Amino acid sequence: MSGLTLYGTTTSPYVRRVRIVAHELGIEVDLVDTAEDDGQRRMRAANPVWKVPTVTVGELSILDSSTICEYLVNERGPGELERFNADNLHERNLMTVIDGALDSLINAFYLARDGVTAQSSSYAAKQKQRAASAMQWLEQWATGPWLSQVHKLGLPEIAMVTTLEWMQFRETYDVSAHPKLVELGKHWADRESFARTRPGA
């Protein structure tokens, strides 16, 4: 596969997932910063829902982080990664719950920037509660550095680590309430693909 164009920011956990997978598979990435006006314009031209990450490969546009990561692993990999099994309902559930926690806290983060807090809005409060419920469920599946049952680095582990580190980076959630997930995150923290894509690296 030739290089791909990735639209997003270095602080987005969803964009970071794609960057980690690309790094693991040795795929060259041209990152277009959507915090800049030109990058935002180009991303919106490629994605009708104005969402990051967006990837273009030649004439092909891929519009969702999970779809992008699965495409990269299946097209180029899996390399040292576990191939994502679309028929594995446990792994599907893991990804759904991780994304649910992350989406809820992203909503709460941007609401708080506009002055809408859990104290002033039942909707904002529900986002925090939903994230806590999701994290409690995920805690029960963590076994050392693994979430998936195959005990090999795959998309659920990548999603979990990037979510945990975004929570800490943006100070949106106290991850210390989930020691098994914290242990999982620490295990992968120094791996090159994680270290090089961490915000501020």
The overall average pLDDT reported for the chain is 96
Q: pLDDT per residue over 48-88, tens digit each?
A: 999 999 999 988 999 999 999 999 998 888 999 999 888 99
Question: Yes or no: is domain 89-197 CATH 1.20.1250.20?
Answer: no
Percent of the chain past pLDDT 90, that is, above it, reads 92
Does residue 2 register a pLDDT over 70? no
Residue closest to 175 by CA, chosen among 92, 54, 184: 184
Does residue 1 register a pLDDT over 70? no
CB distance 34 to 52 below 8 Å = yes
pLDDT at position 113 is 97
Question: Yes or no: is domain 4-76 CATH 3.40.50.150?
Answer: no
Taking the C-alpha atoms of residue 103 and residue 12, their distance in angstroms, rounded to an integer, is 11
pTM over 0.95: yes
Provide CB contacts within 8 A for 64, sequence distance 6+: 51
Written as six digits, the tokens of 52 are 């990051």
Q: Which sequence spans correspond to the domains of the chain? A: 4-76, 89-197
Residue closest to 98 by CA, chosen among 144, 130, 60: 130
Is 4-76's fold the same as 89-197's? Answer: no
* CA 191, 192, 197, 200 torsion-angle sign: positive
